[in-house]
Chain A
Amino acid sequence: MTELRYLAPETLDEAVGAFAKAGSAARILAGGTDLLVQMRSGVLKPGVIVDIKKIPEMTAIEQTPDGGFRIGAAVSGMALAEHKTFGKVWPGVLEAVNLIGSKQVQGRASAGGNLCNGSPAGDSVPAMVAAGAAVTIQGPEGRREMKVEDVPAGPGRTHLKPGEILVSFKLPPRPAGSSDAYLRMIPRTEMDIAVVGCGVSLTMKDGTVTAARVGLGAVAPTVLLVEDAAKALIGSKLDDAALAKAAAACSAACRPIDDKRGTIAYRTRVAGVLLKRTAAIAAKRAQGK
């Protein structure tokens, strides 16, 4: 017999209070597309479920006065796709979020859940890392911010402290000539888990890269920020030598597993190939082509 209790608080303070009080038996419900599968398969038997979707901040998409965005942790991929300007400013983040599952899953699944699920292969995470996104977290000891790349601790684990809830993502304002892209390698064209995922965000001036960030997924226990790859791109015109150097940096950063989707050698090689392809798309977008 289940002893499950379902709570749907309308304020963040209530949610944090209930979540912290229930301790390790509690689970946060955003889109539920991971949680319900884990419950059904018997991996998880939560005592309390805290549904955060009645808290307005959790489901809001807001363009901040500085031109950045604040996205509630429970905003679904479909809601993000329907937003008028978000996809124009952050096309790579949007395409990453909209590679998560099917249209049905995108109707519910959120970037917040994707990050907190702690999968190294979560599609939105490398794109968020490349975007330089930060998250706002609220817990019993108040609010704090973390960079997205600092949130995952390993497969299925995060650096959130007990009782803390992920509230929103903050994406920085973008200088002119900026864009981003996300590509993943999967064995089929839809509905699969990334063998390698790569997010690249670029700022360009007169054909030269002035700023870059690279996020890499599914090649290590956590999603990686690959600073050496970004360094190889910055100052270049994305010529073959710079791209080769950045690709080598991506491959060097890989510490993947061998599994049915891809071997260590394959994932390591594909990471470099994807970097080149993703950077090319981001550059094209940044130059308005």
Chain B
Amino acid sequence: MSDYIIFQDVDRCIGCYSCEIHCKANKKLPDGPRLCRIYQFGPKLVDKVPRMAFSFLACFHCEKPWCVSACPSKAMQKRPKDGIVYVEAEKCIGCKLCLYACPWGVPQFIQEDCVAVKCDLCKDRIDQGLQPACVTKCITGCLQFGRRELMPEEQVRRYELLATP
């Protein structure tokens, strides 16, 4: 895992898909690749109200990233200083091995340029002291960004809830 995480407060997410667009607009991506996705669950009837939930998924920035090991040209790499996993486009040979290697299908492909692309936690923004595009502009503020050890209490509380039988 990288030193940073994006935390999503599912209760606050309104499934507006804005984060997907914020990301694409920021990275000027063409048709096709989307670096984060919102997945809808439901509607499902819970206590007389049909409920929906929306889950935000980008890259997990794994501790031992399969995508990095799979890359033959060292284009996919893990940034030593904070563990962010990213593609260096100039080195990418377009072999798509990272797409196959990632268990969650996270890496995307830019057909026009024949290169892989994935969430890099907006490292250029982080380096300027800013937050990732998706987090910065999320309508409801349900996305939060921070250092892993400062993971919001709420998330910890939820883990605990899940862990207690």
A binds B: no
